[in-house]
Amino acid sequence: MKFRSLFLAVLCTLFMGVSLTSCSDDDDDDEVTTGVFILNEGKSENNNAGISVYNPETHAVTADVYMAQNDKGLGDTGQDMIQYGNYVYVTVYGSSRLVKLDKAGVEVASLTFSAEDGQPRNMAAEDGKLYVTLYSGKVARINAADLKIEKYVQVGKNPEQIVEEDDKLFVANSGWGEDNTVSVIDIRTFEVVKTVEVTVNPNYLQEAEGYVYVISYGSFGNVPYTLSRINTRTYAVEEITTATLMAEHDDVIYLANSVTDWSTYTTTTTFFTYDARRGVLNNASFLQDSPEARKLATKSIYMIEIDPNNGDIYIGISDYNNNGDVYRFTRTGEFVKEITTGSLNPNNMVFFN
């Protein structure tokens, strides 16, 4: 997948003087060969969500390609972003929108959810359908081509992340800290076939090697953040360790655990991995020692993403008030670049090649 000439023209316009792959119209030169969309959540009720673009080859960044391409803002609170087929889909929680973009960041379709639907959270995609969790306690099945809602299924309270594994959808029901279930939906019938109990307040999901990995926020008191895994065949649940954030690549779960001492307002973050193939936890940091890695060890981590093309690791931080930064490392943990996104709260990335 590649950015086409329209996107390159936008980059050339926005980055006069910055070295890019090419700004010509020749057939062989009118495409940027690699690129990354970064979804910036923005601040709730400030209507300032946006999408930055980063070129890993030149390190060029544009702060808001959506604004540049569509002459309007993305909306309030960018929640989730996925690539499916030749398009990028974004849920905008505060504005209750689902937006479909081409690879140049141009909006080609959108859907506004009703109050009865509830506000959209996270997405999965399979066989031409989008599956979107809604804070009304439902999952909507949506045609990815025209963004028409086809059907709903009721799950638990305040569903968050959703993943597909073996023709089933797994949905984390947070209940704003009051639910402790993961709903399992049969894609073919679009009905809930199982409800699995996990640690209270499940939010994050990843799938690997026949398991769905769950990070539960706990009770913000007596029950800590917990990483568990669900066997997708037997639905048995196994608690693994304490972690606050994760990403998956090649059956390795990359984990961060951020702990804040509120009496001193100091944060300590550790980075480690879990080998999903062998079922082994590795407490060694996946980052090599560097000033940047040491800095991240004192920050609360907002995002971990892995480039599926080369295994590069991207770690985002935010203080909710200043523009967020993303730190890029190689797959072996060597520091590459600090990326200033130009907006608040980077929370999600889509990689092209």
Q: State pLDDT tens for residues 228-262.
A: 999 999 999 999 999 999 999 999 999 999 999 98
pLDDT of residue 10: 46
pLDDT of residue 7: 47
pLDDT of residue 63: 87
- For 319-348, the pLDDT digits (tens) are 888 899 999 999 999 999 999 998 999 999
- In Å, how far from its chain's centre is CA 279? 24
Are 342 and 52 in contact by the 8 Å Cβ rule? The answer is yes
pLDDT of residue 6: 40
Residue 278's contacts (CB-CB under 8 Å, 6 or more residues apart) are none
Residues of the chain with pLDDT under 50: 1-33
Residue 146's contacts (CB-CB under 8 Å, 6 or more residues apart) are 109
pLDDT of residue 34: 61
- In Å, how far from its chain's centre is CA 107? 20
d(CA 5, CA 121): 32
The percentage of the chain sitting over the pLDDT mark of 90, rounded to a whole number, equals 86
Report in angstroms the alpha-carbon separations of 219 from 158, 180, 216. 15, 10, 9
Per-position DSSP letters for 101-112, written without gaps between them: E-TTS-EEEEEE
pLDDT of residue 134: 98
Report in angstroms the alpha-carbon separations of 206 from 125, 169, 247, 253. 14, 12, 7, 8
pLDDT of residue 94: 97
Are 71 and 106 in contact by the 8 Å Cβ rule? The answer is no
CA angle in degrees (0–180, nearest 5) for 349-100-167? 75
Phi/psi at 320 (5° precision): 75, -5
